[in-house]
Amino acid sequence: AQTVTQSQPEMSVQEAETVTLSCTYDTSENNYYLFWYKQPPSRQMILVIRQEAYKQQNATENRFSVNFQKAAKSFSLKISDSQLGDTAMYFCAFRLRGYQKVTFGTGTKLQVIP
């Protein structure tokens, strides 16, 4: 069974600064996807960024980037130039290629401080 661990329940960052959210996972499989989802106070789950395990290059989406360390089974999210709108719960998620089930971490609550 796959597990996803987010060891930081809460974090805060000053506006315009950079913050990194940690995520580790456990699997014996080789082909999978990793995701970061954002859940603002509106509760809507929004995909932030995704990474395919067979790609060594770290995914980037504007101010969001990941540090994917496959051997260490680590998938951290870096948010650069933090904005007030980044305040939200952030969930790390894992999905085996070809399977429907997604396993989520317990989330990290990020507060961006003006």
The footprint of another protein (CB under 8 A) covers: 33, 35, 37, 39, 42-47, 50, 89, 91, 95, 97-102, 104, 106-107, 109
| Non-local CB neighbours of 15 within 8 Å, separated by 6+ positions | 82, 83, 84, 112, 113, 114
Least separation, in Å, of the C-beta of 45 and another protein? 4
Least separation, in Å, of the C-beta of 16 and another protein? 27
E-strand stretches of 17-87:
19-21, 24-26, 32-39, 46-52, 60-61, 64-69, 74-79
**H/E run at residue 14:** strand 10-14
Least separation, in Å, of the C-beta of 83 and another protein? 22
- Identity of the residue, 16 or 46, whose beta carbon is nearer to another protein in the bound complex: 46
- Identity of the residue, 10 or 17, whose beta carbon is nearer to another protein in the bound complex: 10
Angstrom distance (rounded) from CA 61 to CA 56 = 16
- Identity of the residue, 1 or 71, whose beta carbon is nearer to another protein in the bound complex: 1
Least separation, in Å, of the C-beta of 50 and another protein? 6
- Identity of the residue, 52 or 73, whose beta carbon is nearer to another protein in the bound complex: 52
Residue 109 tokens, joined? 């609550």
Neighbours of 38 (CB within 10 A): 21
